[in-house]
């Protein structure tokens, strides 16, 4: 019972996928960016190639209906960031005055600097708090908007269903929306604001350090020397360049490892969720040992990836920790000659070391943010793969001949020259020509696996593989009840009303529907919230589906093995309810049981033609015994006739 996560996904907003290469008809090699690129590591060239893709994800929010609030918040955050840089400059100047006062044993100056420091600290705390607060406000607004955009795109036009069938390259799309959107936004803001702060601080403190450095005379021989103005600035630049190069050399595999980490964690979590949702089946099969093996296999991948990250981060931390510690020692060594010659006071030395540290920190932004940059690149790649999978299924839906669904006569359903295929292109059913008129009751039978449910899906408009045209009734309310009903997590009112809003249906109607389908004990629990798919038996879930039909009163009702978990007595009672309470409703059932024939005036059969595609024939019962018995005497005729 090993399972691989194959969650499907979809997208409606065309701007979300138009920029992808798939949408432009490029080769599939470009489509696999999400799976091929992580192995390359974080390179400057690859980072430049990734920025346009990231920009296409980031840009829409800043021109959306929420743009004014977004730009306003960003402007305030940037002003606070600049203010904090200015505070750093003031603290740097304060260091000079404070330590000079200590050197001179000036008590009054010392006390005055303590008072000045209290004001500086107060302002720094204020600016820090509101920069964080407003950044988080911007982050949640942006995340809310982008999550809504992805959700709408994922759920629109049934692409999530098509992706589940054909887009194997995209794993765990739920994680893309729930986690990767959040990481994209948080890392983008962190890197942008942090990078801007580093740039402004670099400009400010380079000027300070240049003035404090003076000129260093480097003797080359007895009579030749070189004058090096602002030598501390050049030392800081060389120090940062060396550190950045070494950090990249050590840490670039983290991009691939972080990408794999998200995938392995998601696979393990998805397996646990699937197990929780199928506990009864596992218990009945006594499949605990097999499930445990599956969990161990998935978690083993998590452990292997974790150890790889640990080893790589250990090497990177060895270097970065030493680099940061040396950042305090190195400027002291470089500035010491001018201090010992008397060109620098103690305060000037401390200010010089502080300015050097700020310049070195600004130049080392790439080093300090390497892990965040690596994670950001992985997030961009995963979301790019998600969008490309959406684009791929959209292009396929637009360019493939497929099965055309259109509105037809309000009084009939027409299936014209329809051929159904499996996702791999293997023919399943051929030459289906069927007309169902308003008021008909039709039963479609046939061997298991012959394609009955596939025709059900094609009529619903969600099966894309095949050819032909299906003209569904114009302006008619169609309701499709699958064999396993979908029960959303929420109140029982919302479950029974689904997909209608629960508050739009009167309590009396909901309670009556539950009682007549044989669930009177649930009629008093309409406002109780729960995971009903786990609480109710398969038979109770199918009765919930019939309650939905009674509540919604569709013009056309399609049922796919909708009573397979019920006994024959209950099945008969539910079908009689449909005929009594939904007299004007056309019923199209897919089923195996002979007992269903009594409730349908027309009987269709999927006829298997050896190794070739199946066909559909209309079966006319000869007598009542044949209608009720296990052996049926039939006559077949084309199904193009109306009932």
Same domain, 434 and 315: no
Higher pLDDT, 46 or 90: 90
Same domain, 165 and 72: yes
Number of H helices, E strands in the chain: 22, 15
638 pLDDT exceeds 50? no
* C-alpha dist (Å) from residue 383 to 16, 340, 373: 11, 57, 15
Please give the backbone phi and psi of residue 219, each rounded to the nearest 5 degrees, phi first. -75, 130
Q: Is residue 481 included in any domain, yes or no? A: yes
Beta strand 441-446 with 634-637 is unpaired
Instruction: Give residue 541's pLDDT band: very low, low, confident or very high (50, 70, 90).
Output: very high
Q: Is residue 2 included in any domain, yes or no? A: no
Q: Indicate the DSSP class of residue 614.
A: B
Q: Is residue 255 included in any domain, yes or no? A: yes
Same domain, 431 and 485: yes
Side-by-side strand order, sheet with 634-637: 478-481, 556-560, 586-590, 441-446, 602-607, 615-621, 634-637
Structurally, how many domains does the chain consist of?
2
SS (H, E, C) 164-218: HHHCCCCCCHHHHHHHHHHHHHHHHHHHHHHHHHHHHHHHHHHHHHHHHHCEEEE
Instruction: Give residue 613's pLDDT band: very low, low, confident or very high (50, 70, 90).
Output: confident
- 473 Cβ neighbours under 8 A, 6+ residues apart: 407, 408, 409, 410, 411, 412, 413, 438, 555, 556
The answer to whether the CB of 544 falls within 8 A of the CB of 574 is no
* Average pLDDT across the chain, whole number: 81
Q: Is residue 216 included in any domain, yes or no? A: yes
The predicted model gives 13-21 an average pLDDT of 37
CB atoms within 10 A of CB 91: 18
Q: Indicate the DSSP class of residue 71.
A: H
**What three-state secondary structure class fits 487?**
coil
> Token pair of 28, please?
């599939």
380 pLDDT exceeds 70? yes
Q: Is residue 371 included in any domain, yes or no? A: yes
Instruction: Give residue 313's pLDDT band: very low, low, confident or very high (50, 70, 90).
Output: confident
Same domain, 533 and 629: yes
Same domain, 264 and 346: yes
* C-alpha dist (Å) from residue 117 to 91, 92, 201: 8, 11, 20
Same domain, 353 and 428: no
pLDDT digits 0-9 by tens, 449-460: 888 888 888 888
**Look-up of token digits 């009945």:** 284
Domain with 450, as residue range(s), is: 403-637
The predicted model gives 579-583 an average pLDDT of 91
Among candidate residues 379, 397, 415, the one where a domain is terminated? 397
Same domain, 384 and 412: no
C-alpha 195/C-alpha 37 separation (Å) is 25
pLDDT digits 0-9 by tens, 543-570: 999 999 999 999 999 999 999 999 999 9
Strand-pair partners of 611 = none
CB atoms within 10 A of CB 2: 11
C-alpha 238/C-alpha 260 separation (Å) is 35
Percent of the chain with pLDDT over 70: 85
Closest by Cα among 145, 162, 51 to 391: 162
Element (DSSP H or E) covering residue 111 = helix 107-155
Looking at 52-56, 65-69, 301-305, 325-329, which range is the least confident one?
325-329
C-alpha 568/C-alpha 180 separation (Å) is 48
Same domain, 91 and 190: yes
The predicted model gives 419-441 an average pLDDT of 87
Looking at 498-502, 551-555, 603-607, which range is the least confident one?
498-502
Q: Is residue 3 included in any domain, yes or no? A: no
Same domain, 366 and 462: no
Same domain, 62 and 191: yes
Largest CA distance in the chain: 124
**Look-up of token digits 């399943």:** 428
pLDDT digits 0-9 by tens, 107-118: 898 899 899 989
With vertex at residue 311, the alpha carbon angle to CA 306 and CA 314, rounded to the nearest 5 degrees, is: 120
The answer to whether the CB of 356 falls within 8 A of the CB of 206 is no
Same domain, 266 and 288: yes
Report field, pTM of the whole predicted structure over 0.95: no
125 pLDDT exceeds 90? yes
Same domain, 390 and 460: no
Q: Is residue 1 included in any domain, yes or no? A: no
Can you spell out the DSSP letters for 521-565?
A: GGTT-TT-EE-HHHHS-HHHHHHHHHHHHHHH--SEEEEESTTTT
Among candidate residues 380, 397, 414, the one where a domain is terminated? 397
The answer to whether the CB of 201 falls within 8 A of the CB of 85 is yes
Can you spell out the DSSP letters for 113-128?
A: HHHHHHHHHHHHHHHH
C-alpha 403/C-alpha 454 separation (Å) is 12
- Using CB atoms within 10 Å of the CB of residue 60, give its burial: 0 to 12 exposed, 13 to 18 middle, 19+ buried: middle
Note every long-range contact of 235-242, with CB atoms under 8 Å and residues 24 or more positions apart, other chains counting. Answer: 235/330, 235/331, 235/334, 235/356, 236/209, 236/331, 236/356, 236/359, 236/360, 236/363, 237/359, 237/363, 239/327, 239/330, 239/360, 239/363, 240/359, 240/360, 240/363, 240/364, 240/367, 241/363
CATH number for 599: 3.40.50.300
Among candidate residues 365, 397, 429, the one where a domain is terminated? 397
Instruction: Give residue 441's pLDDT band: very low, low, confident or very high (50, 70, 90).
Output: very high
Q: Is residue 332 included in any domain, yes or no? A: yes
**Look-up of token digits 């959209």:** 394
Helix 67-104, helix 107-155: angle, nearest 10: 160
CATH number for 123: 1.20.1560.10
**What three-state secondary structure class fits 419?**
strand
Q: Indicate the DSSP class of residue 620.
A: E
The predicted model gives 427-431 an average pLDDT of 88
């Amino acid at each position: 019972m090993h399972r691989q996560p194959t969650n499907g996904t979809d997208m409606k907003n065309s701007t979300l996928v138009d920029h992808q290469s798939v949408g432009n008809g490029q080769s599939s090699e470009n489509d696999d960016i999400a799976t091929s690129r992580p192995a390359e590591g974080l390179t400057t060239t690859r980072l430049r190639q990734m920025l346009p893709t990231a920009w296409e994800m980031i840009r829409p929010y800043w021109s959306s209906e929420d743009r004014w609030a977004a730009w306003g918040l960003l402007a305030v955050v940037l002003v606070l960031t600049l203010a904090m840089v200015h505070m750093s400059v003031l603290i740097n100047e304060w260091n000079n005055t404070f330590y000079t006062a200590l050197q001179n044993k000036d008590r009054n100056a010392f006390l005055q600097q303590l008072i000045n420091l209290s004001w500086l600290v107060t302002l720094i705390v204020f600016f820090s708090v509101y920069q964080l607060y407003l950044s988080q406000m911007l982050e949640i607004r942006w995340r809310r908007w982008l999550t809504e955009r992805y959700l709408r795109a994922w759920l629109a036009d049934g692409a999530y269903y098509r992706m589940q069938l054909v887009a194997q390259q995209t794993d765990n799309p739920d994680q893309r929306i729930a986690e990767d959107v959040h990481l994209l936004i948080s890392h983008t803001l962190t890197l942008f604001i942090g990078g801007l702060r580093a740039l402004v601080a670099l400009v400010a403190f380079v000027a300070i350090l240049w003035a404090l450095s003076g000129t260093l005379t480097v003797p080359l021989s007895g009579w030749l020397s070189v004058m090096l103005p602002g030598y501390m600035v050049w030392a800081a630049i060389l120090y940062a360049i060396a550190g950045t190069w070494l950090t990249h050399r050590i840490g670039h595999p983290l991009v691939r490892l972080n990408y794999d980490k998200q995938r392995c964690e998601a696979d393990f979590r998805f397996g646990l969720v699937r197990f929780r949702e199928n506990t009864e089946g596992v218990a009945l099969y006594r499949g605990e040992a097999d499930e445990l093996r599956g969990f161990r296999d998935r978690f083993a991948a998590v452990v292997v990836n974790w150890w790889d990250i640990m080893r790589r981060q250990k090497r990177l931390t060895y270097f970065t920790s030493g680099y940061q510690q040396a950042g305090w020692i190195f400027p002291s060594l470089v500035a010491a000659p001018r201090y010992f010659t008397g060109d620098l006071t103690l305060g000037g030395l401390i200010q010089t070391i502080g300015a050097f540290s700020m310049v070195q920190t600004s130049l080392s932004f790439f080093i300090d943010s390497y892990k965040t940059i690596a994670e950001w690149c992985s997030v961009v790649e995963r979301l790019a793969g998600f969008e490309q999978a959406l684009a791929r299924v959209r292009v396929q839906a637009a360019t493939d001949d497929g099965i055309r669904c259109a509105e037809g006569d309000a009084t009939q359903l027409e299936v014209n020259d329809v051929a159904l295929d499996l996702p791999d292109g293997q023919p399943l059913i051929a030459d289906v020509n069927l007309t169902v008129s308003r008021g008909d009751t039709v039963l479609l039978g046939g061997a298991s696996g012959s394609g009955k449910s596939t025709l059900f899906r094609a009529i619903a408009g969600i099966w894309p593989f095949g050819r032909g045209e299906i003209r569904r009734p114009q302006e008619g309310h169609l309701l499709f009840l699958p064999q396993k009903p979908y029960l959303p997590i929420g109140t029982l009112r919302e479950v029974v009303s689904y997909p209608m809003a629960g508050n739009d249906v009167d309590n009396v109607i909901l309670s009556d529907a539950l009682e007549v389908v044989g669930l009177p004990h649930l009629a008093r629990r309409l406002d109780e919230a729960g995971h009903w798919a786990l609480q109710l038996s398969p038979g109770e879930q199918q009765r919930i589906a019939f309650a939905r039909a009674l509540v919604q009163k569709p013009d056309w009702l399609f049922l796919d093995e909708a009573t397979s978990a019920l006994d024959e007595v209950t099945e008969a009672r539910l079908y009689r309810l449909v005929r009594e309470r939904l007299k004007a409703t056309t019923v199209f059932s897919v089923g195996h049981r002979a007992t269903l024939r009594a409730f349908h005036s027309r009987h269709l059969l999927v006829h298997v033609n050896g190794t070739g595609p199946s066909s559909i024939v209309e079966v006319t019962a000869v007598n009542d015994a044949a209608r009720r018995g296990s052996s049926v005497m039939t006559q077949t005729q084309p199904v193009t006739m109306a009932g």
